[in-house]
Each structure stands twice: as structure tokens, then as C-alpha cells.
Structure 1
């Protein structure tokens, strides 16, 4: 399975968010879209990242950026864990992994192990400061996150494949890319 690259057309899909919204990538044409892939609904790393994304969403919207998150869990688990947060963007449950396969999202046992050595501060922050305790695990525990910044023409501007289970693209890179496009159309 080869990774998607910058300049590829973003693979099209249609889905329903666990909040009940119909999601169709065509609806996002003309705007930037951050499509983020997570692990399972009770993953502490994932819930911390969603928490941070919720806080940044309004600002990103002023830049013309929308967000969608995809989890490998079913809707009932999303409601039980991720849904406890005040969500302000769509979250899609993809337990069949159809969207993961379209975007070539990877798994890695080394990436699972590595996170515990290079991200202890995130573990402490997510579990003890934010209360995101691990619970049930759906699908592969060794799933790596991935982020795709899709430009207004539907092309992948940035394809970011995490190297460990807590690795997502930096918000600063997203902001810089989108802001540069605003300044230099």
C-alpha cells in the first residue's frame, strides 16, 4: 500500500458523522479541509488531540479551514468517549476501515511502543490532567494517525503520516500553509 502524496486528488468518500450529518467531500470544495484519522474512541492521545482541535476550530474557520475526524470505532463508542467533549466539527466512525483504506492509513507495532518513550508528557496530560482514560479498543491498537490538508480544489496539499500513535501534524504548519494561500492567492 503506497502513501498518498502532495498533489494527489483527495480520495472522494461519502459518510455519515456519528452526530448525524451527511458528509460528502464535494461539500468542502472551495475551502481548505483538514481530514484527520485517529485510532479508537477511547484513545487518550486521540482525545487530547480532539480537545485541542475543538479549541482551534473557530479560528481555523476564519481562515477558511474546515475539519473532519475519522475514528476506527463505531458510533456508540464515539458517543461514549469522544462525544463527551463539546464537539464543533464532524466525527465519522469507520469501523469497517473503508476510509482508512482509501487514504492508506498505516499501522505499526514500533509506532505503538515508540510513543510511550517519546511522548510521556502527552500520556500524563491526556490521562491525568484531562481525564481521557483508555477504555475499549476497536480495531487495531497499533493504528497510526494521519492528517491530510486538502486544498480548495480537492488536491492534497499536505499528506502527514504519523510515526507513532500520538503523532499528528503541527497546528502551526496547517496555519502557515492556509495563511500563505490567503496572502498569496
Structure 2
């Protein structure tokens, strides 16, 4: 006896795919950067130094004095010499008056003449430094310098640009070329 047989045959599906790839482009524009540095403010205040040189004593030592001082000095010296001369003449007159009538006559006047015209001895000799030490007086007032610096911070302006993004989605298109199929046959 023969048994019937089942014969199964299949046909696979066949597909055709068309793929469009996705596309992405990103562009980032540079940021706009603006930096400025204001100059620092510098203020300098100075007072000048002062130098005072007083040479009055030096000029006096050298014999050169201001006119007003010379006039006063010569007037004082003249007054003293005048007073000295007056007192000398009064003393000589008294001397003549006291010796008058005592038989001395000419001898008194001769003695007075010898007193007035005798040789004068020069003063003591010594070395004198002209001008004297310390006769020039120097006074220095130092100057000052004040420096004020005011720094200015830099100014930074930044503008950030957003990125530009272009994006296209990808696609998949499919088309069935062969449909799947199952055939079952019974033989026998």
C-alpha cells in the first residue's frame, strides 16, 4: 500500500530597497569678540626742590657789603672818630690850660704833638682765611613727586552666535519584487 505524500514548496520574498541616507551639516560661526583696553590714568604732581644759597657773610668777609650796610658802618665809624677827636682835643685843651703860666710854654705843645704823631705799631699779624669757614649757608628744601595711577579694566564684549544646523531625514523605500508563496501538493 502506498501512502500519499505531501510535498511543500516555498518561494521566499524578494524585496528591493531604495535608501536615501540622512544628511546633517552643522556650521558654527565664530563668536564676535570685541576687547578694548582704556589707557590707565596717570597723574603726576611735583613740587620743585628749592635751593637757597646765602652768600652775604662771604661777601662781607671779602669786603663787599651792601651799600646801605656800608653807609651805616661808615656813619657809625665817623661818629666814633668824631667823638674820639672831640675828647682828645678837650683833653689837650685841658692839658694846655693846666700848664699855662707855669713856665712850660712850648714844652706842653711839643709833648701833645709827639703824642699825636708818634709811630703807630701795626696790629698783630695772623693768617686769616677769607671767606671764613661756614660763611656760605646752603639750605635745600627737597621737592616731592606724587604719582597717582588709576587703572581701567578692559572692556570685553562677546556675542555668541548660535550654530546653524541643516538636517535632512533619511528615507527607506521598499518594493516587493517576489511575493512569498507556499504550495502544498499531495502526491499519491
Same fold (TM over 0.5): no
- Higher-helix-fraction structure: 1
Q: TM-score, normalised by structure 2?
A: 0.15
Select the structure of larger CA radius of gyration: 2
- Higher-strand-fraction structure: 2
Structure number with the bigger relative contact order (C-alpha 8 A, sep ≥ 6) is 2
